[in-house]
């Protein structure tokens, strides 16, 4: 193996390890930021996705799973706990009696807008301390580019989604011992108007931002 190839592999290893660490710290510190509201980062992401104008009439479970890039099976567990806590409501889809739609309840909206949002904004400020607007723009561009490539890998392998529920359990455990992308900013929520943005749309969005 030539030196250039080895250097690229070494750099890739460092990048993905840092991503892994960042994801773990997001689950840990993000859940801690909203733990008083009884939320985890996964529930935070669900509420964020449901808060978008495009989700005003509710979102199908399958659509929500694709938007968040998780499996339906594991998302179902998160939704079930949120329904139990009165944050969301799950009803039969009037257009397809076999499907279910998820909507945010009045209680969930109050928790999201009045209680969680101020803490989420404060968390963003702390996590992005020292980042200029240009830094944030560049970071977002490269994350979207990386996400697009990884989505392509996922599509070629026909994978259903990630282990969303497992991540929630880990986050809950982390927040229990001192130690949910807000929808209003790029936390897997308001990045695009459609529930399932195409790879082309994500690339265009990255260029615009």
Q: Which string of b and e fits 114-149 if b means at least 16 CB within 10 Å?
A: eebbebbeebbeeeeeeeeeeeeeeebeeebeebbe
CA atoms of 148 and 143, how far apart (whole Å): 8
Residue 8 burial (CB count, 10 A): 11
Q: What is the pLDDT of residues 133-188, one digit of tens each?
A: 999 999 999 999 999 999 999 999 875 555 555 444 444 444 333 333 433 333 43
Neighbour count for residue 26 (Cβ, 10 Å): 18
- Give one word for 202, left, alpha or beta, with left for phi > 0 and alpha for psi -120 to 50: alpha
- The 10s digit of each residue's pLDDT in 85-143 is 999 999 877 676 677 889 999 999 999 999 999 999 999 999 999 999 999 999 999 99
What CA–CA distance (Å, rounded) separates 156 from 162? 15
Q: How far is CA 164 from CA 4, 24, 77, 78, 123, in A?
A: 37, 13, 9, 8, 22
Cβ pair 69, 188 in contact under 8 A: yes
CATH of region 3-208, choose from 1.10.10.10, 3.50.50.60, 1.10.150.130, 3.10.310.70:
1.10.10.10
| Residues paired with residue 60 on neighbouring β-strands, in sequence order | 101
pLDDT digits (tens, 9 = 90+) for 2-61: 888 999 999 999 999 999 999 999 999 999 999 999 999 999 999 999 999 988 888 999
Q: What are the residue ranges of helices labelled H in the chain? A: 3-33, 41-50, 61-68, 72-84, 106-110, 117-127, 133-157, 164-176, 199-208
Q: Enumerate residues 6+ apart whose C-beta is below 8 A from 154.
A: 69
User: Count of CB atoms within 10 A of residue 23's CB?
Assistant: 12
pLDDT at 160: 56
Q: Report if pTM > 0.75.
A: no
Output the pLDDT for position 174: 40
Cα distances from 96 to residues 60, 99, 184, in angstroms, run 10, 6, 30
Domain boundaries of the chain, sorted by first residue? 3-208
């Amino acid at each position: 193996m030539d030196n250039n190839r080895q250097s690229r592999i070494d750099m890739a290893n460092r990048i993905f390890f840092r991503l892994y660490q960042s994801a773990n710290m997001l689950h840990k510190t993000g859940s801690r930021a909203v733990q008083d509201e009884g939320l985890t980062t996964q529930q935070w992401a669900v509420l964020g996705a449901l808060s978008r104008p495009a989700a005003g009439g509710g979102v199908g479970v399958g659509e929500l799973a694709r938007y968040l890039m998780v499996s339906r099976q594991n998302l179902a567990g998160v939704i079930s706990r949120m329904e139990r806590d009165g944050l969301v409501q799950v009803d039969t889809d009037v257009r397809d009696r076999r499907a279910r739609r998820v909507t945010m309840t009045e209680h969930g909206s109050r928790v999201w807008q009045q209680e969680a949002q101020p803490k989420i904004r404060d968390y963003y400020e702390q996590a992005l301390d020292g980042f200029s607007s240009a830094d944030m723009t560049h970071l977002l561009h490269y994350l979207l580019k990386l996400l697009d490539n990884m989505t392509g890998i996922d599509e070629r392998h026909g994978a259903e989604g990630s282990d969303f529920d497992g991540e929630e359990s880990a986050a809950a455990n982390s927040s229990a011992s001192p130690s949910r992308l807000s929808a209003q900013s790029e936390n897997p929520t308001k990045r695009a108007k459609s529930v399932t943005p195409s790879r082309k749309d994500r690339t265009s969005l990255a260029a615009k931002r």
